Amino acid sequence: MPQKIYSENSLLIERRIFGDFGIFVFDTQNIGKNALPGQFIMLKLDDEKDPLLARPFSIFYSENNRLALFIKKVGRTTSKLFSMNLEDRVKILGPLGNGFEDKKDKVILIGGGSGVAPLYFYARKYGFLRFIIGFPTYIEGLFENYFEDAEIITEDGSYGKKGFPTDYIKDTNKEIIYACGPLPMLKALEEKRKYSLENTYVSLESMMGCGLGICAGCGVKRRKEKGYFRVCSDGPVFPFSLIAI
Ligand SMILES: Cc1cc2nc3c(=O)[nH]c(=O)nc-3n(C[C@H](O)[C@H](O)[C@H](O)COP(=O)(O)OP(=O)(O)OC[C@H]3O[C@@H](n4cnc5c(N)ncnc54)[C@H](O)[C@@H]3O)c2cc1C
Ligand code: FES
């Protein structure tokens, strides 16, 4: 695993907004240099007491000093990020977590909403068999500029195919699936792949406290035995056969 780096002075150097989604690129003093797809960072707004805690975000891509995040505006940190100016600073710790194993281009990637972030990184670094992403509706500029090679599914059919990403996969044992997205999408995936969960891996976007395995604030139930995994330090990527959501 790449060494964790804490960058007190991560500078916002690029920002592209697409409705409630945004791509934010930071100069992070090498945090992203050896990061793996599926790993995440903890981001804390500079000198902000509200929110007090850092928030986890998957790495969307990284090149040299540049670390990009794909963020959905949902609450306090993300809203403040959307109103930040270039050259503003945040604190970033990472890379954290295990990430997706490199299975080259043998994998079907399935992402929903902000969950496309770690899969985009995988797709760019290792390739893919299919890359299927789902959003509620068309988002101008986003699909055309970043997801040209993905199969796009919108709930209302306003772009690509209509429905949910899980409508467009079959349950076969041999295909490996890497997925990340909202709970209903993961539940639908679990149902669809009930006979091949061991070939299905999910990255979980749970609530987190410390992000470092200390506070026990990110537990996910074990499927086969009693107890919990810690999403931050045991995951965030898990074989679906081991966890109960
Ligand atoms: C490993 C990991 C990777 C993630 N990657 C991304 C990413 O790439 N892009 C992205 O946009 N988000 C990602 N998230 C989710 C992100 O961390 C949360 O949305 C975060 O809480 C937003 O912070 P906020 O301060 O803006 O919202 P808050 O003010 O903390 O919360 C806003 C509202 O959302 C609820 N909420 C917060 N987090 C979650 C959650 N995980 N599930 C359900 N409800 C929640 C809160 O209860 C509250 O009602 C990831 C989470 C994890 C654990
Ligand atoms: S967030 Fe603290 S242990 Fe996982």
Ligand 1, pocket-test mutation among 26, 45, 67, 74, most atoms within 8 A of CB: 74
The residue nearest atom 45 of ligand 1, judged by CA position, is: 207
Domain with CATH 3.40.50.80 in the chain: 107-205
> pTM, whole model, 2 decimals?
0.95
Provide the b/e sequence for 163-201 (b: ≥16 CB within 10 Å).
ebbbebbeeeeebbbbbbbeeebbebbbebbeebbebbb
For residue 201, what are the contacts with CB-CB under 8 A and spacing of at least 6? 100, 101, 176, 177, 178, 179, 237, 238, 239, 240
Classified by CATH at the fold level, domain 5-96 comes out as Elongation Factor Tu (Ef-tu); domain 3 (2.40.30)
Counting from 1 in the atom list of ligand 1, the atom nearest the Cα of 51 is 25
Classified by CATH at the fold level, domain 107-205 comes out as Rossmann fold (3.40.50)
Counting from 1 in the atom list of ligand 2, the atom nearest the Cα of 213 is 3
Domain with CATH 2.40.30.10 in the chain: 5-96
Print pLDDT tens along the chain (245 aa): 667 777 778 999 999 999 999 999 999 878 888 899 999 999 999 877 778 889 999 999 998 889 999 999 999 999 999 999 999 999 999 999 999 999 988 999 999 999 999 999 999 999 999 999 999 999 999 999 999 999 999 999 999 999 999 999 987 778 999 999 999 999 999 999 988 899 999 999 989 999 999 999 999 999 989 999 999 999 999 999 999 99
